[in-house]
């Protein structure tokens, strides 16, 4: 099971790396179950529960794809931004 989870994390990391290198994908074990975590700026984490409803990395990856410009922006650019990260355009 752990190898499958690691393979899923690697798949997600490869997909995300195509548009930003600011995200590190990890697997975390919690009392609620196994989480696929995308760690980015200032120790923020987008997590998805890898339960029986988890079918692919697509939704997880699309979260970051929609925010790619914001993720790739400098901290100074993000600090003065007044729009939601999903709406930020470089």
1 band by pLDDT with thresholds 50, 70 and 90: low
CB 88 within 8 A of CB 69: yes
pLDDT tens digits, 16-62: 999 999 999 999 999 999 999 999 988 899 999 999 999 999 999 99
The residues, any chain, with a CB within 8 Å of residue 19's CB and separated by 6 or more, are: 64, 65, 68
Which H helix or E strand runs over 2?
helix 2-17
User: For residue 69, how many other CB atoms are within 10 A of its CB?
Assistant: 17
Kindly list the domain boundaries of the chain, sorted by start residue. Answer: 2-80
CB 44 within 8 A of CB 67: no
């Amino acid at each position: 099971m752990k190898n499958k989870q690691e393979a899923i994390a690697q798949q997600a990391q490869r997909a995300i790396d195509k548009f930003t290198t600011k995200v590190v994908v990890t697997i975390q074990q919690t009392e609620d179950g196994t989480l696929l975590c995308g760690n980015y700026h200032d120790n923020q984490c987008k997590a998805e529960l890898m339960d029986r409803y988890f079918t692919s990395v697509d939704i997880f990856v699309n979260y970051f794809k929609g925010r790619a410009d914001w993720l790739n922006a400098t901290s100074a650019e993000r600090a003065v931004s007044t729009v939601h990260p999903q709406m930020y355009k470089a």
